[in-house]
Amino acid sequence: MSEWTNWSGLESSRPTRVEEPTDTAAIVAAVERARTERTTVKMVGTGHSFTAISAPEHTLLRPTRLGGILSVDREAMTVTALAGTQLKVLNAGLAALGLSLHNMGDIDEQTLAGATSTGTHGTGGTWASLSAQIAGLELVTGTGEVVRATATENPDVLEHARLGLGALGVLTTITFRVEPLFVLEATETPMSWDEALDGFDQRVAEHHHVDTYWFPHTDRLMTKTNDRLDIGVDEAEPLSALSGWWEDEFLSNTLFGALNHVTNRFPGTIRRFNQVSSRLLSARTYSDAAHKVFVSPRTVVFREMEYAVPREAGLTALREARAAIEASSLNITFPVEIRVTPADDIPMSTSNGRESMYLAFHTHRDADHLAYFALLEPIMRAHGGRPHWGKVHTRTAADLAPAYPRFEEFLALRDRLDPDRVFANPYLRRVLGD
Ligand SMILES: Cc1cc2nc3c(=O)[nH]c(=O)nc-3n(C[C@H](O)[C@H](O)[C@H](O)COP(=O)(O)OP(=O)(O)OC[C@H]3O[C@@H](n4cnc5c(N)ncnc54)[C@H](O)[C@@H]3O)c2cc1C
């Protein structure tokens, strides 16, 4: 029996059967067999969810042989790819075609289906999540039917399955809206707490994308703003290989990882460590093709909880989180990440119907994440927060339902597309019910 483990090492399971389908027919066969046997099937991505959302029970399907761009429609400005394609493969393929996604998150390791199924998002822009950039998809339902969904064909399936939690079917293809390849200029500026928070709303209004990191136990934040430049990629001024390596690989990953090992053994050194590490990162400006500016390497393994609170409550929630951390005896090495998103219309999206501020809390894999997240989750809940579906939280169907106006509609579609719960696992039973 082989073991499935996620990226953070927090979740694992022992599926009875492991398959690597090469086409839709093989997925249909796996689903039909599970239905007959009354077992379950789970297509996983790259396991970058911190929750057990992709943990397989009986049959594990791996997406390894389901990658690549299938077609480009330059009139409609859409690109269709196999759902198991990794984001980094899509980005490179799009760039070669002179095209780009509108927005994305911090990394590009995930699969298209995995990232969209949990609502993976970036910050700012017209759309912040990858799901909001979907124009069409195809999936294999729990009854083994292959369903195409666009704005005109099965529009209800498209609406929900853009962010389907892996509960509605196995996605086989995804069609994204794309735009001409563009250049982003990133400006990273260290700031004090007051300077960063006082100017926060204005900064968000003036820049396309704003990402902010607060270093717990210090008064220091790092603000990253990304703005579109009207120049070609060949005119951009990327970081030199040396400074990119020094700041993004060495300081942010290698040294940071090594120092975390020290602070895990000697927690008393953490406050001093954060003072030093927040000052090591200095101001810098660079520009490059958008997908290269959005992402950074992440080689230090961590655990994360991220909540979306209504935008207007965001800074209050952040101030309360800071007060709670400072009043506790916890020693936190990882910065708290702060992002903002426009409202979207995806039923299970954490940004559904409201502009949002995302507050993300991280700990090193060897540190105790439970006490930290338990301290902060009640604050996020008190502000009407919705937890990222792929990041650690303790919510259940009973208390998630009131947070999502169209929760019941999603459950009704699940009943229709997966009546026998072929795609169920313990996480989905917890957050959606049986
Ligand atoms: C280092 C790191 C950085 C991250 N940065 C961000 C970020 O910036 N923003 C953000 O929002 N999130 C971020 N995340 C979270 C991550 O994007 C999500 O958890 C995402 O779901 C992971 O994608 P995956 O391919 O690993 O999918 P998995 O975690 O393997 O699976 C996620 C879900 O997708 C389902 N699924 C996979 N393939 C299919 C398919 N073909 N059909 C139907 N369902 C399918 C799985 O069953 C499961 O339900 C980060 C995570 C890590 C570890």
pLDDT of residue 39: 98
For 282, half-sphere exposure in the C-beta direction (CA atoms, 13 angstrom radius) is 5
d(CA 247, CA 324): 30
Compute, in angstroms, the gap from residue 349 CA to the centroid of ligand 1.
14
Atom 13 in ligand 1: residue holding the nearest Cα: 120
- Secondary structure of 286-337 in HEC code, one letter for each residue: EEEEHHHHHCCCCCCCEEEEEEEEEHHHHHHHHHHHHHHHHHCCCCCCCCEE
Looking at residue 282, its pLDDT comes to 77
Ligand 1 cavity residues, CB under 6 Å:
7, 42-49, 53-54, 63, 83, 105-107, 110-111, 113-115, 117-118, 120-121, 165-166, 170-171, 298, 388, 390
* Percentage of residues in the chain having pLDDT higher than 70: 91
CA 129 to ligand 1 centroid distance, Å? 12
Name which residue sits closest to atom 49 of ligand 1, judged by CA. Answer: 166
Kindly list the structural domains of the chain, giving each domain's residue range(s) and its CATH number in brackets, ordered by start. Answer: 183-387 (3.30.70.2520)
Gap from CA of 268 to ligand 1 centroid (Å) = 34
Q: For the segment 337-396, what is each residue's pLDDT rounded down to a tens digit? A: 999 999 999 999 999 999 999 999 999 998 999 999 999 999 999 999 999 999 999 999
Instruction: Please give the number of the atom of ligand 1 that sits closest to the Cα of 427.
Output: 49
Given a cut of 80, whether residue 241 has pLDDT beyond it is no
Q: 93: part of which helix (H) or strand (E)?
A: helix 87-96
Spatial distance between the Cα atoms of 423 and 56, rounded to a whole number of angstroms: 9
Ligand 1 centroid to residue 428 C-alpha, Å: 15
Q: What is the pLDDT of residues 152-191, one digit of tens each?
A: 999 999 999 999 999 999 999 999 999 999 999 999 999 9
pLDDT at residue 288 greater than cutoff 70 = yes
CA-nearest residue, atom 41 of ligand 1: 171
Question: How high does pLDDT run on average in the chain?
Answer: 94
Q: Give the pLDDT confidence of 52-69 residue by residue, as tens digits.
A: 999 999 999 999 999 999
Q: How crowded is residue 70: how many other Cβ atoms within 10 Å of its Cβ? A: 12
Considering only CA atoms, which residue is closest to atom 10 of ligand 1? 120
Q: How many Å apart are CA 434 and CA 418, to the nearest integer?
A: 11
Q: Which of 118, 171, 362 to mutate to test the pocket of ligand 1 (most atoms within 8 A of CB)?
A: 118
Distances (CA, A) of 124 to 159, 207, 226, 434: 22, 8, 9, 36
Show the CA angle centred on residue 291, arms to residues 238 and 253, nearest 5°: 70
For atom 18 of ligand 1, the residue with the nearest CA is 49
Which atom number of ligand 1 is nearest to the Cα of residue 170?
A: 42
Q: Give the C-alpha separation, 321 to 354, whole Å.
A: 21
CA of 50 to the centre of ligand 1 (A): 9
Which ligand 1 atom is nearest residue 106's CA?
A: 8
Distance (Å, whole) CA 278 – CA 375: 23
pTM above 0.85, yes or no: yes
Distance 391 CA to ligand 1 centre (A): 9
pLDDT band at 238 (very low <50, low <70, confident <90, very high): very high
Mean pLDDT over 248-275 rounds to 67
Nearest CA to ligand 1 atom 20: 115
Q: Give the distance (Å) from ligand 1 centre to CA of residue 130.
A: 11
> What is the best residue among 44, 59, 306 to mutate for testing ligand 1's pocket, by most ligand atoms within 8 Å of CB?
44
Flag whether pLDDT at 259 surpasses 80. Answer: no
Distance 113 CA to ligand 1 centre (A): 8
What count of other Cβ atoms lies within 10 Å of the Cβ of residue 77? 14
Q: What is the pLDDT of residue 22?
A: 98
Per DSSP (E only), the strands in 141-182 are 146-149, 170-177, 179-180
